[in-house]
Amino acid sequence: MGLVAVGALALTACGGDPAGGEGTEEGQATSGDLTTVGFVAVGPEGAWRQANEANIQETFTEDAGFELKYAPAANLDQKSQIDAFTSFVDEGVDVILLSATEGSGWEDSLTRAQEAEIPVILIDRGIEPDNTDLYVTRIAPDNIEVSSAVANWAIEEFPEGANYFVLEGPAGVSVVNERNEGWDAVIGEAEGFNKLGAQTANWSTEEAKSVFETVLKSNNNDVQMVFAQNDEMGLGAVQAVEEAGLVPGEDVKIATIDGTKNALQALADGKLSFVAEYNPLFGETALDVVNKTLAGESVDSYIIVPSLTFDSPEAAEEALPDRKF
């Protein structure tokens, strides 16, 4: 099998003159000649996040008519994000892009932005509770669909079931909850799958290696599969399997989400068994949404970014030369 598309783009990025240039869309707020965008970002968190935030920064440029104010979280701390968000509201930026480190705790900030008539667009991560009245839209791949694709692959790969372990991202993050939801809904209907446990490894290769070493020892290596909620953790599981004297891809099959170069190379090498892409490159879609929003046009409340799945070394090898993250 080759590549399988996961998700469909509810709103396609369009060409034409972006905000700025010789003028702006009617009704669009500006700061000087540029539209000001406050980007409340996550910051350093792995290859996926780096690609996503770089793509946003490369899209919202002065040449495109924007002044992008980039505010990454301090050590993934939500308070630093709320402080940056508040500063952007006080400053009166034209629009705020928000990638939340934690799903809950945003109601007051979003209400304040709404009162200031500053539209907020969620980038990647959702909020809890999901009050769509407080933001314009969320732009992201569909975590439930992506993780369901991993579960469907597992059922095909293990028709009689398997002992498996889940390496999760940080607690309280919306994408973690969604990836669990998609996986559990599908795998829960299959027979023979025995969940040995789940534990956060905080998206980290090193932490995942340590966690899964313990899992292997406590289960006498009787683990057939790992579902790692991001590539880095999956690669940590590969290291733990190898150090236990087992063969990744044979003794233990490891499936991951993100689709970074390192993961696709590991799939090409036979160390990973399945990689579900979580496409980070949606800057142009965000640009289109910002232009439409500031022009007073409506957009869908959830814009799904299409992603692929890779289920063989051949599929990975084919994709690697053009992989941008």
Instruction: Please write the tens of the pLDDT for every residue from 261-289.
Output: 999 999 999 999 999 999 999 999 999 99
Fold of 143-278: Rossmann fold (3.40.50)
Kindly state the percentage of the chain with pLDDT values over 90: 85
Confidence at 30, pLDDT banded by 50, 70, 90: very low
Q: What are phi and psi of 253, to 5 degrees?
A: -95, 135
> CATH 3.40.50.2300 residue ranges in the chain?
3-139+280-304, 143-278
The mean pLDDT of 292-312, rounded to a whole number, is 96
Q: Which two tokens stand for residue 310?
A: 């890779």
Where do the H-state alpha helices sit in 219-260?
Answer: 231-243
Q: Which residue type occupies 167? A: L
Confidence at 33, pLDDT banded by 50, 70, 90: confident
Per-residue model confidence as pLDDT tens digits over 150-187: 999 999 999 999 999 999 999 988 899 999 999 999 99
Q: What pLDDT was estimated at residue 32?
A: 59
The mean pLDDT of 67-72, rounded to a whole number, is 97
Q: What pLDDT was estimated at residue 76?
A: 87
Residues 3-139+280-304: name the CATH superfamily.
Response regulator (3.40.50.2300)
CA distance 229 to 207: 13
- Range in 14-28, 208-222, 235-249 with the lowest mean pLDDT: 14-28
pTM value is 0.84
